[in-house]
């Protein structure tokens, strides 16, 4: 079993976002390790970067889909749903650098390393984002689920083979 991550730690500011996509075999600027030649990988957790320590406005649940959604009303529906987090989350600091804040969601799902997956939040979130040189394996979506191809949320996806 080999652990690896994908994601982006740098940020340019914060904005309201409704989702973020990722590809398991594209580490991004801050991913570690690779899936190697594995044909299936397993999702362990997803962490999102927040602008401050206030946990009251953070989503309690996230969903991972194998297909991009275009309407916030689709979030939570079963079509193309790969996995969803439970209600237990971990709030912490310093994952994305000194003085940063995050929420970590445990989630289990089997993924194909070369496929793109889409993370959606139960409620749109004010997240830290990267707008210059964002994550190359995916992009953020705004609170209406409109694609933002030059924007990435600050995030980390932990997986294993």
**pTM of the entire structure?**
0.96
Residue 145 Rama label (left phi>0; alpha psi -120 to 50; beta)? left
Asked if the model's pLDDT at residue 85 lies above 90, the reply is: yes
What is the pLDDT, as a whole number, of residue 87? 83
DSSP class of residue 21 equals: E
What's the mean pLDDT when you consider all of the chain? 96
Residue 78, C-beta contacts closer than 8 angstroms, at least 6 positions apart: none
Structure confidence by residue, pLDDT tens digits, 89-131: 999 999 999 999 999 999 999 999 999 999 999 999 999 999 9
Confidence of residue 4 (pLDDT cuts 50, 70, 90): very high
Distance separating alpha carbons of residues 13 and 143, to the nearest angstrom: 16
The domains of the chain are located at 3-160
């Amino acid at each position: 079993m080999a652990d690896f991550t994908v994601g982006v730690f740098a940020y340019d500011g914060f904005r309201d976002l409704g989702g973020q996509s990722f590809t398991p075999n594209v580490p991004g600027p801050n991913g570690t390790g690779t899936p190697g030649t594995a044909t299936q990988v397993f999702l362990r957790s997803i962490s999102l970067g927040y602008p401050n320590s206030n946990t009251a406005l953070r989503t309690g649940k996230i969903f991972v889909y194998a297909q991009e959604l275009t309407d916030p009303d689709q979030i939570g529906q079963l079509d193309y749903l790969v996995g969803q987090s439970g209600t237990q989350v971990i709030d912490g600091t310093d994952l994305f650098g000194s003085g940063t804040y995050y929420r970590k969601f445990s989630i289990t799902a089997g993924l194909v390393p070369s496929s793109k997956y889409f993370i959606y939040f139960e409620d749109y979130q004010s997240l830290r984002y990267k707008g210059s040189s964002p994550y190359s394996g995916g992009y953020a979506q705004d609170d209406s689920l409109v694609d933002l191809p030059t924007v990435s949320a600050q995030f980390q996806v932990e997986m294993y083979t």
